[in-house]
Amino acid sequence: MKSEGEFFRDRSILITGASGFIGQHLLKEFKKYTTSLAVIQRNKIPIEAVDLPIRQFACDIGNRRDLHSCLTQCDPEIIVHLAGYKERNTNLLGFSEGLNTNVMGSLNIFSEALDKEHLESMVVLGTAEEYGNNPCPYLETMRESPVSPYSFSKTCISHMALLFNSLYQLPITVLRPTLAYGPGQENDMFLPSLISSLHRNRAFRMTTGEQTRDFLYIDDLIDAILRVPRYPGSRGHIINIGSGMPVKIIDIAYLVEKLMKKKNLIHSGQVPYRDNEIMKYCVDIGKAVTVLHWKPRVSLHAGLTKTIHSITKS
């Protein structure tokens, strides 16, 4: 099989939602291989991750006419679809935003991609939250049980993606990652919020932390995304991406405290669990191993160390 450099060299690649945490890391990786890179954003923004020309299209994925123009101009061979509404609240507004932005936006992208004769692969990012309160480890064959408007919209997209593959042979693959973390993540997520608080010697208030989570270092997720176009057998599949190793949130908190050489800053039991809190959250990665020949390479200890260094040095 060709190396990543040989495979991606000079291919036309389009990323939607490239300004986010995952998108920025993906851009850094793609810059090593191609000079034909395009991104779709609602608004043009400075992209710090790369130092090569990038075609930026200011386009709302809900606007199919503008989206048609974007895809016609860049004529992608590979699409990575990351854009979407990511709020995880449970209010009714979340349903309308999730359906209008995530589902209809994805429908527009899938539809516009159908007549792109050079398109070889489309990667769509779902979420392991789609499995909800199913027993762990989550398997791709399980019936989904979303717990929020966000995971409901992602479930709709997953099924729509498979239908587009079945009906129209769109070369699409859905990856369902667990909780990605790493340098550059916003403080509204658990780990960067925890690390920032401890770095400032501030108490970190949290739940009792008995819920388990499956943490995935960002480099491992990027590796999985890059493997999809190289393995045609992944087309038409949903594939879990995670560490496969559940860890209690409280144990993660104490490990971070230890790595940062802090003491008595974790105040557990002071925050209630969220409504519909998933208490056990972990995926089976057997399919990823078989289909993508992928396994996580960064241990939790190593990933946390890199993340802590990134946040505390800034």
Instruction: Give the pTM.
Output: 0.95
CATH class for the domain made up of 4-182+218-242+282-297: alpha beta
Q: What is the DSSP letter of 143?
A: P
Give the C-alpha distances (Å, rounded to integers) separating 141 from 7, 12, 231, 245: 31, 33, 21, 19
How far is residue 228's CA from residue 38's CA, in Å, rounded to a whole number?
19
Q: What is the pLDDT along the chain (314 residues), one digit of tens a residue?
A: 777 888 998 899 999 998 889 999 999 898 888 778 999 987 665 555 445 578 888 888 999 999 999 999 999 999 999 998 888 777 888 788 889 899 999 999 999 999 999 999 999 999 999 999 999 999 999 999 999 999 999 999 999 999 999 999 999 999 999 999 999 999 989 999 999 999 999 999 999 999 999 999 999 999 999 999 999 999 999 999 999 999 999 999 999 999 999 999 999 999 999 888 999 999 999 999 999 999 999 999 999 999 999 999 86
Angle of helix 300-313 relative to helix 190-199, nearest 10 degrees?
50
- For the chain, the residue count is 314
Q: What is the DSSP string of 86-128?
A: -----SHHHHHHIIIIIIHHHHHHHHHHTT-TT--EEEEE--G
